[in-house]
Amino acid sequence: MTSQNSASRSTRAAAVVGAGQAGVTAALGLLDAGFAVTLYSDRDQRALRDDGPATGTALEFGETQQAEAALGLDAYTARAPRHTGLSVRIAGPDRAELIQFDGNFEGYAGVAVDTRLKADERLTAFRERGGEFVVAAVTPETLDPIAAANDLTLVATGRGGLSDLFPIDVARTPYDAPQRRLLTVTVTGLGHGADVFAHRSPVGGAHSGFSILADQGEGWWGPYLHKDAGPSWAFLGWAKPGSEWETRFAAADSAESAHRIVQQLYRDFIDWDLPEVLATKVIADDPHSWLKGAVRPVVRAGLGRTAGGHPVAALGDTAISYDPIAGQGAQSGLIQAQRLVAAAAVHQEAFDADWIESQYRAFLAGRADAANKVTRLFLGDPEFADIGGDLFAAASVDPRAATALVGLLHRPQPFLAVDSQRAAHDFLTGVTGTDAARILARFAPAGRFARSGYAPLVDA
DSSP 333-364: HHHHHHHHHHHHHH--S---HHHHHHHHHHHI
Q: Assign domain 82-105+177-295 to its CATH architecture.
A: 2-Layer Sandwich (3.30)
Given this model, what pLDDT does residue 33 score?
97
CA 273, CA 387: separation in Å to the nearest integer? 28
Cβ neighbours of residue 182 closer than 8 Å, sequence gap 6 or more: 236, 237, 238, 239, 249, 291, 292, 293, 294, 295, 324
DSSP 3-state of 48: helix
CATH number of 13-59+113-175+297-371: 3.50.50.60
Given this model, what pLDDT does residue 49 score?
97
Nearest to 438 by CA among 448, 446, 450, 429: 429
Question: Beta strand pairing status for 303-305 and 281-282?
Answer: unpaired
Residue by residue, DSSP assigns 202-267 as TTGGGEEEEEEETTTEEEEEEEEEETTTEEEEEEEEEEPTTSHHHHHHHT--SHHHHHHHHHHHHH
pTM (two decimals): 0.94
DSSP 3-state of 199: coil
Burial of 214 (0-12, 13-18, 19+ CB in 10 A): middle
Residue by residue, DSSP assigns 133-170 as EEE----HHHHHHHHHH-SEEEE---SSTTGGGS-B-G
Given this model, what pLDDT does residue 345 score?
97
Given this model, what pLDDT does residue 9 score?
42
Given this model, what pLDDT does residue 55 score?
87
CA 233, CA 226: separation in Å to the nearest integer? 8
Given this model, what pLDDT does residue 7 score?
38
DSSP 3-state of 313: strand
CA 147, CA 142: separation in Å to the nearest integer? 9
Boundaries of every domain in the chain: 13-59+113-175+297-371, 82-105+177-295
- Provide the residue-wise pLDDT of the chain in tens; the chain has 460 residues: 343 343 334 479 999 999 999 999 999 999 999 999 999 999 999 999 999 999 888 899 999 999 999 999 998 999 999 999 999 999 999 999 999 999 999 999 999 999 999 999 999 999 999 999 999 999 999 999 999 999 999 999 987 779 999 999 999 999 999 999 999 999 999 999 999 999 999 999 999 999 999 999 999 999 999 999 999 999 999 999 999 999 999 999 999 999 999 999 999 999 999 999 999 999 999 999 999 999 999 999 999 999 999 999 999 999 999 999 999 999 999 999 999 999 999 999 999 999 999 999 999 999 999 999 999 999 999 999 999 999 999 999 999 999 999 999 999 999 999 999 999 999 999 999 999 999 999 999 999 999 999 998 654 3
Given this model, what pLDDT does residue 457 score?
62
CA 260, CA 276: separation in Å to the nearest integer? 14
